[in-house]
Amino acid sequence: MLLAYTRAVSPRLADCELTHLDRAPLDVSLAVAEHDAYEAALVQLGVTVRRLPAEPDLPDAVFVEDTAVVLDDVAVITRPGAESRRPETRTVEQALAGHRPLVRIEAPATLDGGDVLVAGHTVYVGLSLRTSRDAVRQLVRLLRPFGYEVVPVEFQGCLHLKSAVTRVAEDLVLLNPAWVDAAIFAGHRTVHVDPQEPHAANALAVAGSVIHPRHHAGTRARLESAGLKVVPVAQEELAKAESGVTCCSLLLHE
């Protein structure tokens, strides 16, 4: 069974943390509708969706990906780079304790799950304003017993590594070559985003399909040309909070 943990949109979403985007008027009711449709898309693909307890006072709490890294053998509870987000991990840890052994990133290191891209037993970790080199060193130590190789990745121009590159199939990555070097992912074929859509590299591969923001039509056409079945979802409002489709769920196999 494939599970997705999600969380309701906070009524304070407009107060979210931002780093690379200017703050724009954000309609929380539209963001709620987008998130509901995203969950519905997961269900239609055969995923069992379980909502974590709501966190109405934590503006970014809907972006559950940043609170943990779930692997087949173990789950890593992160220490988010934005201090305001650290209380989000409490209920995520409680939920994941029933599924995986848990390890934790310890202070002063910081790690956002959005900076972690897993490809088999290789774990790529983006070095960002939210993820520190100390966190990479901790991951090397924590994941070595489970047979994972941890690879630090330099990138630019966006919040998280998975804003620049995501894995859309077993041997295929979608990336923005202006933000991350494709050579890092040797052994994978690549699809480049449409140059007019720099933020289109974030996609969620699930159950043989790819969930992707509907407003990135040019990049969607490229994914379809690569033979992928794309499920477009509304993300225009959530994107104002520097979100992507991977951000809003934690996937794990039971």
Q: Which residues does the annotation mark as catalytic? A: 160, 247
Kindly report the three-state secondary structure assignment for every residue of the chain. CEEEEECCCCCCHHHCCCCCCCCCCCCHHHHHHHHHHHHHHHHHCCCEEEECCCCCCCCCCCCHHHHEEECCCCEEECCCCCHHHHHHHHHHHHHHCCCCCEEECCCCCCCCHHHEEEECCEEEEEECCCCCHHHHHHHHHHHHHHCCEEEEEECCCCCCHHHHEEEEECCEEEECCCCCCHHHHCCCEEEECCCCCCCCCCCEEECCEEEEECCCHHHHHHHHHCCCEEEEECCHHHHCCCCCCCCCCEEEEC
